[in-house]
Amino acid sequence: MFKANCLLSATVVTSLFVLSGGLAQAQTRGAAGAANASGNGNTEATTSSGGVEEVVVFARKRATGENAQTVPIAISAFSEAVLQEAHVEDITELGRLAPNVQTDTVGTTPGLVNLTIRGVGLNGSIRSVDPAVNVVVDGMTLGYTPGAVVDTFDLQSVEILRGPQGVLFGRNATGGALVLRTAAPSDNFHARTRVTVGNFDRLEVQAVIEGPLGGETILAKIAVSEKYNKGSIENTNGGQFVPSIANPSGAPVEHGTGNIPKTQELVIKPTLLFKLGENDRLTLFTQYQNYRDGGTAPVNFVPPASSGAPATLQTVYGFTPPAGDYAANSANPGYARIEAEHAIAQLDDGIGTGTLTTIAAYRYISFDSTIDLLGSPFVLTYLPDNRESNHQVSLESRYNLSLTDRLSLLAGIYAFSGTTSVLENRITSGGAATPNALVYIRTKWKQDDDTAAVFTNIDYKLLQSLTLSLGARYGWERKRMNISPLQRCVGAGFGNCPLSFGEGAKHWSDVSPRFALTYQAARDLLAYASWTKGFRSGNYNGRATTPQAALTPANPESVHSSEIGVKSDLFEHTLRMNVAAFYEDYKDIQAVLTANVAGPVTQFLLNAASATVKGVELETTWLPVRGLKLQGTVGYTDARFDRFTAPLPAGVVGTSLQFARVPEWTYAAAGEYAFGIPPLPGALTLHLDYNWRSGVFTDLTNTRALYMKGYGLIDAAVSYKTDHWRLSLFGKNLQNTVYFENNARSFSYVEFGGSPRTYGVQMSYEL
């Protein structure tokens, strides 16, 4: 649809030119209220107290924002400036900034993140299975997560809420919530552009222009981002071929080479703000995205002999993968074509002494892809020309009211409706006996998801410094699945596939309460204790292989969490220390297992287990001298299965298993120093950070060959900034650590999601 190399500059320049005609006349206007409009309220996203930065958050969905240090929830909050200095590009990198948070990609599907917080999350890519961490963009929850790798470009702030958020964020927030807020238009004419170039042919151009549109009551902004890179995995014809069952001659398989997976992405974000009255405003957030990316980039590896794992790729196909750390030999790299649009209308209406906030949202996304799951020269597991689409509408209306000086009330309603359609094609090898006899498999399904909820929260000051919070949410949902299970087609190709559909429907309801005590011991010292519940949806298995498995959903999960925490700003706001400890009772955990239930062995999505998860988190920021900022985080998660009710392979004891892709320890350290260089204007900023995570198994049954060792990454940047210009040199994974985010096995063993050293130059200009 577009060529990045040709249109990068043209798109941005055209957008600026079109909008500037309506905005240029407003350059002399003074700043006022609209600059205070957030993505979900009426206050600035960030403020400064002269010490450690204060970030205004909307975790409690108040009419106006709150300083994160006064909110009795474990929150990691980041302003636009923090994200920029750390060169955080999208949500997959946010896990490096917060304790006990994983934001890794699933690996097998482009644009899909497996979010996990405090051990509660998702490890897989079945489209019909809902996440356990909500992604909320400008008040809209993303009901369909493939293609939801959101860029941090044009975000005003990011909030990571750790622990269940069932009262205010509803279902599928058992692990927590990731809340992203777009910057609202400014009262003043303002324009900025940013260009980034780097290795792997990286080229990005981003631009924003904003200001009044033909008057004082309508403000407008348009943000455009276009990016391209050729991919960081080298796809070669390398490796060793020897005679084998599947390749008797031992002849190499030749194919095109080059780097994978390519990125070619366009995002356009127009935003409008209408001032309807002194306390009333309507904000329209819209977005269009068009991605023309490569498919996956799996890197094959030979499991160590000590693992006892069979090396099928070597024994049956006679192929030993290339030895390079980030080298692949994939004959079919595939593609991902993602096109999405959304519109979100937020109306803030002052009624009496309270504020009524209503958010109506619509989103549509289509996701077409060809994916080689195992990335070898041979066809092992190949998903050609898959088609997916989703559309959703949602409405939330809530009323914030201060009844007295001691008593405040929040009450709201929520409704959601979404439909997902999936056509999945698979071509697999016939196995060790007939490796060259390809098997064609197809599934097709459509799922409708309807949800309604009412919620409330009351805050009552028992004493001037002691507040009791009581909240509850009643939610109801229904899912209806129409599916033809994953079945083998007759003959070669997809021309004769037995699409035999069945339909099932089920509904669930839930009450999620929350109790919290907050003690404001001093102006800059807060302690809290809370108990809350989170509820994750019941789910159908869109990759089931029998009608029974396809039409028998797993029931919902729940997490009951107890938490205590202390938030403090010490020594005149030069030292911030936040500590939280949690204990979670994790029930009815959903897992995909091989089971024999009244018939042949097949894959079932089952409520397989229960577990206890406990841990601690520390976040600290210290300003020891002027211009120097030191930060650190430590996260510890102890996740243990208490019982396993579902069948496991022989010899596997469920209560001894470790949680998949949940590191026991995560920690990070960062330093930033800003200083002037007289007589030059502006300031120079040096930024250095290191983050580390302990080793994990990547599958439910803890396969030894899929264990990933712990690793750490070093990033750095040097930036020079004046009133209008900013020039930055940056590098990530500077020590070129070899790491991957996920491992998997079938006919071969593959690694997904790693990246070698990257570096580049970024230049920004603001008017």
Q: For residues 298 and 748, what is the distance between their CA atoms, to the nearest angstrom?
A: 11
Domain 4-766 fold: Maltoporin; Chain A (2.40.170)
| Proportion of the chain in helix, strand, coil states, percent, rounded to 5 | 10, 55, 35
Domain ranges within the chain, ordered by starting residue: 4-766
On the question of pLDDT at 715 being above 60, the answer is yes
Query: What pairs with residue 635 in β-bridges?
Result: 617, 666
pLDDT digits (tens, 9 = 90+) for 694-703: 999 999 999 9
When pLDDT is averaged across residues 79-94 and rounded to a whole number, the result is 91
Nearest Cα to Cα of residue 336 among 484, 236, 231: 231
Given this model, what pLDDT does residue 97 score? 93
Given this model, what pLDDT does residue 611 score? 98
Q: Which residue has the higher pLDDT, 602 or 575?
A: 575
pLDDT digits (tens, 9 = 90+) for 194-216: 999 999 999 999 999 999 997 88
pLDDT band at 601 (very low <50, low <70, confident <90, very high): low
When pLDDT is averaged across residues 395-399 and rounded to a whole number, the result is 98
Within 8 A by CB and 6+ apart from 767, the residues are 189, 190, 191, 192, 724
On the question of pLDDT at 434 being above 90, the answer is no
Given this model, what pLDDT does residue 597 score? 47
Within 8 A by CB and 6+ apart from 502, the residues are 482, 483, 484, 485, 547, 550, 551
When pLDDT is averaged across residues 654-662 and rounded to a whole number, the result is 96
End-to-end CA, the chain: 31
On the question of pLDDT at 708 being above 60, the answer is yes
Given this model, what pLDDT does residue 533 score? 97
Q: What angle do CA 260, 697, 643 make, to 5 degrees?
A: 140
pLDDT digits (tens, 9 = 90+) for 744-755: 888 889 999 999
On the question of pLDDT at 546 being above 50, the answer is yes
- Cβ atoms of 36 and 44 within 8 Å: the answer is yes
When pLDDT is averaged across residues 303-322 and rounded to a whole number, the result is 83
Query: For residue 243, is the peptide bond before it cis, meaning its omega torsion is within 30 degrees of 0?
Result: no
Query: What pairs with residue 162 in β-bridges?
Result: 176
Given this model, what pLDDT does residue 104 score? 93
Q: What is the gyration radius of the CA atoms in the chain, in angstroms?
A: 26
Given this model, what pLDDT does residue 317 score? 92
Given this model, what pLDDT does residue 602 score? 67
Q: HEC profile for 562-582?
A: EEEEEEEEECCCCEEEEEEEE
Q: HEC profile for 270-293?
A: EEEEEECCCCCEEEEEEEEEEEEE
On the question of pLDDT at 39 being above 70, the answer is no
When pLDDT is averaged across residues 568-579 and rounded to a whole number, the result is 96
Given this model, what pLDDT does residue 44 score? 43
Q: HEC profile for 358-402?
A: EEEEEEEEEEEEEEECCCCCCCCEEEEEEEEEEEEEEEEEEEEEE
SS3 315: helix
Percent of the chain with pLDDT over 70: 92
| Residue owning tokens 């796809």 | 235
pLDDT digits (tens, 9 = 90+) for 528-539: 999 999 999 999
Burial class (CB in 10 A: 0-12, 13-18, 19+), 596: exposed
On the question of pLDDT at 48 being above 80, the answer is no
pLDDT band at 599 (very low <50, low <70, confident <90, very high): very low
Q: State how beta strands 233-235 and 258-260 pair.
A: antiparallel
pLDDT digits (tens, 9 = 90+) for 611-636: 999 999 999 999 999 999 999 999 99
When pLDDT is averaged across residues 670-693 and rounded to a whole number, the result is 95
pLDDT band at 436 (very low <50, low <70, confident <90, very high): confident
Q: Which residue has the higher pLDDT, 315 or 336?
A: 336
When pLDDT is averaged across residues 95-112 and rounded to a whole number, the result is 92
SS3 548: helix
Query: What pairs with residue 274 in β-bridges?
Result: 218, 282
pLDDT band at 30 (very low <50, low <70, confident <90, very high): very low
- Cβ atoms of 441 and 426 within 8 Å: the answer is yes
Strand order in the sheet with 101-105: 101-105, 113-117, 120-121
When pLDDT is averaged across residues 734-760 and rounded to a whole number, the result is 93
SS3 254: coil
| Tokens, residue 523 | 């102006």
Given this model, what pLDDT does residue 243 score? 95
| Residue owning tokens 């229904």 | 478
Nearest Cα to Cα of residue 532 among 180, 162, 65: 162
Q: Which residue has the higher pLDDT, 1 or 449?
A: 449
When pLDDT is averaged across residues 733-753 and rounded to a whole number, the result is 92
Burial class (CB in 10 A: 0-12, 13-18, 19+), 667: middle
Given this model, what pLDDT does residue 306 score? 73
Within 8 A by CB and 6+ apart from 613, the residues are 118, 119, 120, 582, 583, 584, 586, 637, 638, 639, 640
Q: For residues 759 and 767, what is the distance between their CA atoms, to the nearest angstrom?
A: 27
